[in-house]
Amino acid sequence: MLQMALSAFFFAVMAVFARFAGARLPAQEVVLARAVISTALSFVMLRRAGAPFRGNRPKMLVLRGLTGFLSLSCYFWTVIHLPFAEAVLLAQTAPIFTALIAWKALGERPGPRFAPAAAMVLVGVVLVASPSPADFQGAQLGWVLVGLLGAVAAGSAYTEVRALSRSEHPLTIVLWFQMTMIFLSLPGTFVSGAVLPRGADWLWLAGVGLFGQAGQVFLTEGLRRTPAGRASLANPLVILFGAAIGWLLFHENLDWGDLLGAALLVFGLIFSGSAPRNAVPRSSAS
């Protein structure tokens, strides 16, 4: 679970950079920038690792790219158009969908500890995010649905990564994901009206690409080692890290709900992560 926790941290930092970048740039342009930077980094990392560029299951790799692109696009849209905490909260419903899809597609039963651990994690998510009911009404309802669609897509993507890890190198999976995103985000970038980055925009885009790449590498490695449903329970740490970043950088206050929610998040993850290894089928790559 350490890799998943590191992934959550880097994705939290990426979300901050994406929010700054999205203040002036279209969301699809931010997705494209991340894909271009991460593709370049993936090529370098693959070469140094001596890993293959061509995968053994190209159709599945492209499918993972499609679902990952949909998930990331929905996430960036909601981060830009919804309050940060609410957008991240919606994205963190993904573990529920991951567990269900992995159970159906891979035969990875969540195990007896998953339900109570998931309940603790979800309660912790709500306490840390502290969403207002008004945030999920009116004009913002459409963006809420977009966020939930992204969570479903993320659940599918995590399951596909878990399946691919049985035959592909983690860096190969990451490379194909980023290359697929380039082709899919190009049309959306121009349709939404591409904006030439200037000044601090370049810094924000670089941060999205660099921290997104780090998060993706740790995510892929974590899913290779841990069943998808259980591994994805670490995702809500993004909210915990986001709250800490907000407190440190933006002087946002942390109340008792934040502290209690953080405790539930950590305890839920420890409780799930300490389950016996033989409680869930393991892949040949484990």
Q: Using one digit for the tens of pLDDT, what is the confidence trace for 78-117?
A: 888 877 766 777 777 777 777 778 777 777 776 777 778 7
Q: How many other β-carbons are positioned within 10 Å of the β-carbon of residue 149?
A: 17
pLDDT at 139 over 80: no
The pLDDT of residue 286:
28
The whole-angstrom separation of Cα 73 and Cα 147 is 9
Evaluate if pTM is beyond 0.85: no
The whole-angstrom separation of Cα 126 and Cα 131 is 7
Of 36-45, 83-92, 195-204, the poorest mean pLDDT is in: 83-92
- φ/ψ bin of 111: left (φ > 0), alpha (ψ from -120 to 50), beta (otherwise): left
**Averaged over 226-253, what is the pLDDT?**
63
Burial 106-131, CB ≥16 within 10 A → b, else e:
bebebbebbeebbebbbebbbbbbeb
Q: Given CA atoms 6, 12, 13, 17 in this order, what sign does their dihedral have?
A: positive
Residue 192 is given by DSSP the state T
The pLDDT of residue 131:
64
Q: Which two tokens stand for residue 183?
A: 């082709």
